[in-house]
Amino acid sequence: MKSYQLLFENLIDVNPRTGEIKFSDRRMALVPVEALGILRRDLVNTLGMERAKGFLMRYGWAWGYRDGETIEKMFDWDSKQELILAGPYLHTLEGIATVEQDVIELTEEVLYFTGFWKNSFEAVEHIDHYGCSEDPVCWTLIGYASGYLTKTFGKEVLVIEEECRGKEDAHCRFVAKTVDEKDERHQQDLRYYKAESLLSELDHAYKEVQQLNENITRSEQIQKQLTDMLLEDKSITDTIRFLANTLQKSIVIDYYFEKLECAFVCLADEKTYQNWRENKGVYKEGQKQIDAFSIRAHNENLGSLVVIGDKELCQKERMITERALTVFSIQMFHQRKLTQALWSKKEDFFQEILNNNYDEHTLQRYTHIFNFNPKNSSRILTLKVDTDLKRKEILHYICLLYPDTDVFLKDQYITFILSEEDYSEIERFSIKLQSAIQKEFKPIRIYIGAGRKVNHLKDLPRSYEDACHICDFIEAAYPTDSRISCFEELEPVIMFFKGSNQQELIEFCKRTIGDIIEYDELNQGNLVITLKSYLEHNGNLQQTADDLHLSIAGLRYRIDKIESLCRSDLKTGIGRFNCQLAVQVYFALRIIEGDSPFAALKI
């Protein structure tokens, strides 16, 4: 018997009197595919997609296995291959799908068989009820083919649907292979064929629902306790400790990889967090399990809740953590608003000091409120960034780094009130601050200016004015690089500029480097910046070239151009001194006149 000789009338016996349809000695029934689609839908809705898939694959396997058993007995087949190929014909005759074979290779031990299912009723019904899927959906067909081939080939065969109309492929394509114990895909799919009754499936589903209810109840209890702690005005530290004790896992509140609050259950967890932070949130193999949850309120990023443990969070632990996030969001948002209110009050207080609106008694009262000591020596340090968008975010980050430092936003400057320290201490603080901000918010240019030391709080306006002028000065002088400067460094220039006849200084600047300034203005050049760098490096060509990222040849060309325009010999002491003074006056004028100091020079 050949497989292509199978005919419907030779297979099916219909008895109109008894209403029986038989395939060999097995009774059959005509069932509309819509009914099978409804059954599929109800199984999915009751058991879930994965369990319904397993149920229908086992159903198809039993169907295919019995068909293989029946067809093998009905005819005397020419070969095992013809018996195997009868499966696609039989499946087509039964109206399930049109099966077209593609490749078949078999030996005594191994089977490899591929083909196509066209007009699959399962793909149509699944799309009607659920739309297109990400995975193959012809579960009954997969089971049928696996069962039929297992029976007729005599060894366990597994069918995999590589392409499917149910996931928007052009057609359904199957691949059948004898089971390979080393094949992970085979081992994954074999679990669907484990014999489980519908009752056991429902029992599993019931247990899952029961467990979910228990988890919801427990997470609600924890949330109530957390809410009570919030209403009792407990600190974030108390809340973290409570959550860590509940989960028996380490908890960290992290903001841009800086630890705000923490509760570690063991030293190993703390080391894991340090490694995670140093690697900017990149998880390394072999580490403990780390889960990070974003804490947000009103579209503001308040930080991350980092959970560290030996195992991945289970459903109950994840639900508890997500409930806790709400409480943390409220606590941290409230804390941020209080901090911002304090910034605003400090800014207003400082503005009143600048306006000299406080008498001695009022000054004493407010300084006590803000923990200022009016008799301590202090100075103002201002920080300016090249972008307005991140200024508040940087301010918040600075408050996390230096929680005991008086810092607030004043105009375009982030302003610090620092107790008097040696110039070297101020410089070290500024370098550390600049490095931390650039590391977190790169790429960004930062200009830091430290004003003069004052011995009384009411004299702070002078220090603030110095710091702002220095910030503006170094920004104008070094537009492409971050810089730090202090009053002690620029005091001679500032005093000279304030104490001299400004009109004469402007005329001197114009005579010395006026042509260079006009050349830069007309040609969008950088000769003034080049001259400044050259003078600062004492005429060292290599250091100047490195600073300006130029070649030596390119720098020599610029120096020659500068000397021709300013008619000065930069190799002589007087030539350098005149140019140095003129450059300092020019940048001081830029602070006073803004970005267009040329009006002041055109006298």
Which two tokens mark 199? 């009752």
DSSP state, 167? Answer: G
pLDDT, position 591: 58
Q: For residues 457-472, give the mean pLDDT.
A: 84
* Mean pLDDT for the chain overall: 82
546-597 pLDDT tens trace: 888 889 999 899 988 888 888 888 888 888 888 888 888 787 766 545 555 5
What are residue 144's phi and psi, to 5 degrees? Answer: -60, -50
Determine the average pLDDT of the residues in 143-161.
Answer: 92
Q: What SS3 class is residue 120?
A: coil
CA distance 51 to 41: 12
- Position 598 scores a pLDDT of 46
Pairing status of strand 413-419 against strand 378-385: antiparallel
In angstroms, the Cα distances linking 507 to 218, 330, 476, 580, 599 are 81, 61, 20, 15, 12
Q: Measuring CA to CA, which residue among 26, 6, 11 is closest to residue 89?
A: 6
Q: Domain 3-196 falls in which CATH fold?
A: Muramoyl-pentapeptide Carboxypeptidase; domain 2 (3.30.1380)
**Could you tell me the pLDDT band of residue 600, with boundaries at 50, 70 and 90?**
very low
Token look-up 């996390």 returns 400
Alpha helices (runs of H) in 298-454, residue ranges in sequence order = 315-354, 360-369, 391-401, 423-441
Distance from C-alpha of 60 to C-alpha of 138, rounded to nearest angstrom: 10
Beta-sheet pairing, 413-419 with 258-263: unpaired
Cβ atoms of residues 429 and 418 within 8 Å: yes
Instruction: Count Cβ atoms below 10 Å from residue 438 Cβ, excluding itself.
Output: 14
Residue 124 CA: distances (Å) to CA of 48, 135, 139: 19, 14, 13
The β-bridge partners of 416 are 381, 407
Q: How far from 32 is each of 36, 96, 125, 141, 282, CA to CA, in Å? A: 7, 11, 11, 16, 54
Is it true that 3-196 and 214-337 share their CATH fold?
Answer: no
Query: Measured between alpha carbons, how far is 69 from 62 in angstroms, rounded to an integer?
Result: 11
Predicted confidence band at 47 (pLDDT cuts at 50, 70, 90)?
Answer: confident
pLDDT digits (tens, 9 = 90+) for 416-428: 888 766 667 888 8
pLDDT attached to residue 359: 67
Superfamily of domain 358-489: Reverse transcriptase/Diguanylate cyclase domain (3.30.70.270)
- Please, which pLDDT band fits residue 343 given cuts at 50, 70 and 90? low
Taking the mean position of all CA atoms in its chain, how far away is CA 532? 42
Cβ atoms of 71 and 147 within 8 Å: the answer is no
Question: Is 60 exceeded by the pLDDT of residue 370?
Answer: no
Q: pLDDT at residue 265 above 70? A: yes
Q: At what angle do helices 139-153 and 80-93 cross, to 10 degrees?
A: 150
DSSP 289-326: EEEEEEEEETTEEEEEEEEEESS---HHHHHHHHHHHH
3-state secondary structure of 540: coil
Domain 500-603 in CATH 1.10.10? The answer is yes
| One-letter identity of residue 353 | I
Question: Which residue reads 């959970």 in tokens?
Answer: 307
Which amino acid is located at 536 in the chain? E
Long-range contacts of 198-204, Cβ-Cβ distance < 8 Å, separation of 24 or more: 198/55, 201/47, 201/51, 201/54, 201/55, 202/46, 202/47, 204/51
Q: Are 335 and 302 in contact (CB under 8 A)?
A: no
Distance CA 522, CA 105 (A): 81
User: Hey, where are the domains in the chain?
Assistant: 3-196, 214-337, 358-489, 500-603
pLDDT at 358: 66
So what's the pLDDT on residue 576?
Answer: 85
CATH, domain range 214-337: 3.30.450.40
